[in-house]
């Protein structure tokens, strides 16, 4: 049986985005918002929200319990500020929180709070969802 490590990540994210588009709805603000403070413009791709949701789901599958802050760092970028040195900016937390809440509602991920680990982990339903797409 194929798992997500056997397929190109971009292909998996594209397939998962198409499937997620059927079950989640992009919020109204996603048409106008930038994906982070380091960006100059909103994304040109109209389906960017679903691709980000699929990428977040894949990241949680691979990297174990992840919280909003670690995901903000992962999806952040560097910005050229003219003559000054580049600075690192985090991604938008509102977008990531909204995606995580929608994935929790679908029961693809769940929240854990132990002393040693905090964040969200993938559920069995989420694993099977991504593994089926990897075929």
% pLDDT > 90, the chain: 68
pLDDT of residue 58 exceeding 80, the answer is yes
**Tokens (6 digits) for 103:** 């994935």
Buried/exposed code over 92-101 (b: 16+ C-beta within 10 A; e: otherwise): beebbebbbe
DSSP 3: -
Within 10 A of 67 (CB to CB), how many other CB atoms are there? 14
Residue with tokens 């049986």: 1
* Residues 119, 53 contacting (CB under 8 angstroms): no
**Tokens (6 digits) for 58:** 């894949």
- pLDDT tens digit string along 68-106? 999 999 999 888 888 888 889 999 999 999 999 999 999
């Amino acid at each position: 049986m194929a798992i997500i490590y056997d397929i190109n990540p971009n292909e998996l994210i594209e397939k998962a985005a198409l499937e997620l588009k059927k079950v989640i709805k992009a919020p109204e603000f996603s048409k106008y918002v930038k994906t982070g403070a380091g960006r100059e413009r909103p994304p040109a791709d109209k389906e960017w929200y679903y691709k980000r949701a699929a990428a977040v789901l894949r990241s949680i599958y691979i990297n174990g319990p992840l919280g909003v802050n670690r995901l903000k760092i992962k999806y952040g970028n560097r910005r050229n500020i003219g003559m000054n040195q580049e600075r690192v900016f985090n991604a938008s937390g509102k977008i990531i929180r909204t995606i995580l809440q929608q994935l929790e509602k679908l029961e693809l991920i769940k929240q854990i709070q132990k002393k040693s680990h905090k964040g969200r982990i993938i559920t069995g339903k989420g694993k099977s969802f991504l593994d089926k797409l990897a075929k």
